[in-house]
Chain A
């Protein structure tokens, strides 16, 4: 299953966020979408999920325009994880997972996979944000959709579960799923993605292999902040150059 965009333009209100975007995302690929606030990352995911109509251009799922798919059929092929759902109405974790269209995977296995067994009977509003985020990841895992759209999957998670989450994503991509992942942590992006899409604050963008695009010079331009590269035997990390108290504003 392939997801393709052609000359895609996306708008929020009268603000143009993305224009002339042409991407082809295939099985087994992990794409990361990076960019400053308001550059259109979440908007792009909503458009790819079929929830938001493009201002121009088209999105093709398996060669067929996304809006031509019936919502239920589209829902079986494209899964989305984003902002936490409303907990106002008092659903339990188990009830929330029951709302996911799933054919092969079982809620019990999803609970186990995301280490939520003990919380199954709890109501969503009794959980912490990190626990609710894991419930959302379990809901995503439960869907056997070939394409997963993830909007900041590691947000709210503690360190161990951040690592756990990225391992899980890598494993799913190896099984042939297409993953499109919005991230703010450059090290995490570098760790899992093989393709990258950089969205700038204007409507321009750049797409390509993550090795080429996730370089410090490139990212410093996109985010407008200085970066450090930390190298260790197990890999490298890109860290924003935070100013610690007492240090000079300009190091190096």
Chain B
């Protein structure tokens, strides 16, 4: 039996290397391990470290959320936004930008919106994976329509702000770091505690139930965990796409599928990917910035399509 531990170590190295790169890259190339001017040290401490750490936390939250939702709906192509939680978060953020304004408005609005989106999807959880997925897709479409409506009513400065937020914006994170790291660590621990039950759920609901897992409870825990992590990630950084879809999928192929490895490896992989994407977004057109959601798509989509083609070869 090949052991997944060394591969988990590689995921950790990837995350660490991305963080080092994220600290070094930017408008100016800096040495993250000292030997710079006091000015460099200040840029590192006040700008780059907070940004890199929040990117890492958001990436980890999104990747874990994706892994949970894929298991919940029994479909490896699900992602954190599939239940509409991010859509309702966007509605909340845009409404807050329009009505209240200020730095703190988008994250608070997004989190409240995510809570509303979670409440909207809860009644469908007990109907089983397929109908839950359909309910989520339809709700996401509804939130999408409301986003379009809200955007159409915005004036110019607010509209720019809203679009910037929707494309993913790690530069104006207002959620305190300890909250992001704490929530991520807690979610990871809960996920690992239920690891075996999650594995059983991945075999199918009937299999899980006959193996002695309380499927109804597990579904509820999963929806709440995934919604909380997604809501927090969206509140911190807007709607950053692809991390939650690609990372768990890649981890399953490269490291393994049991949740006690899948979840920590996804967290590390998601952290690494988003830090890397954000570093590229900051460096490529410096001093301007590309939207990080565009970067994750540029990095993620080709990788994902390649994995998809490989997967077809495997299963046919």
Contact = CB atoms under 8 A, between A and B. Distances in A.
A120 B256 CA distance: 14
B257 A95 contact: yes
A71 B203 contact: no
A126 B210 contact: no
A96 interface: yes
A76 B212 contact: yes
Contact of B203 (A94, A96, A126): A96
Contacts of B210: 49-51, 75, 78-80, 82
B139 to A, nearest CB: 24
B196 A91 contact: no
Interface in B1-28: 1-2
B315 interface: yes
B211 A75 contact: yes
B206 A89 contact: no
A88 interface: yes
A95 B211 contact: no
B208 to A, nearest CB: 9
Contacts of A100: 211
Contacts of A92: 256-257
A90 B253 contact: yes
Q: Which one of A50, A86, A126 has the greatest number of beta carbons of chain B within 10 Å?
A: A86
Nearest to A78: B210
Q: How large is the interface on B (under 10, 10 to 19, 20 to 34, 35 or more residues)?
A: 20 to 34
Interface residues of A, number: 35
A95 B258 contact: yes
A85 interface: yes
A99 B209 CA distance: 12
B314 A91 contact: no
B213 A88 contact: no
A86 B205 CA distance: 10
Nearest to B214: A71
B212 A90 contact: no
A87 B203 CA distance: 7
Nearest to A87: B315
Nearest to B262: A89
B291 to A, nearest CB: 32
Interface string B40-81: 000000000000000000000000000000110011100000
Contacts of A76: 212
A92 B206 CA distance: 19
Contact of B202 (A75, A89, A98): A89
B1 A91 contact: no
Nearest to B77: A88
B199 A86 contact: no
B199 A71 contact: no
Interface in B172-198: 196
B75 A88 contact: yes
A89 B2 CA distance: 18
Contacts of B257: 89-92, 95
A99 B204 CA distance: 12
A101 interface: yes
Nearest to A74: B212
A120 B1 CA distance: 8
Nearest to A42: B206
Nearest to A101: B212
Nearest to B261: A95
B207 interface: yes
Interface string A97-139: 0111100000000000000000011010110000000000000
18 contacts: A46-B206, A49-B209, A50-B210, A72-B212, A73-B212, A75-B213, A76-B212, A85-B207, A86-B74, A86-B204, A89-B70, A89-B71, A90-B256, A95-B199, A95-B257, A95-B258, A99-B196, A99-B203
- List the 8 closest pairs (A to B, CB-CB), nearest first: A75-B212, A85-B203, A80-B210, A72-B212, A89-B202, A90-B257, A51-B209, A125-B315
Interface of A: 46, 49-51, 71-76, 78-80, 82-83, 85-92, 94-96, 98-101, 120-121, 123, 125-126
Interface of B: 1-2, 70-71, 74-76, 196, 199-200, 202-204, 206-207, 209-214, 252-253, 256-258, 314-315
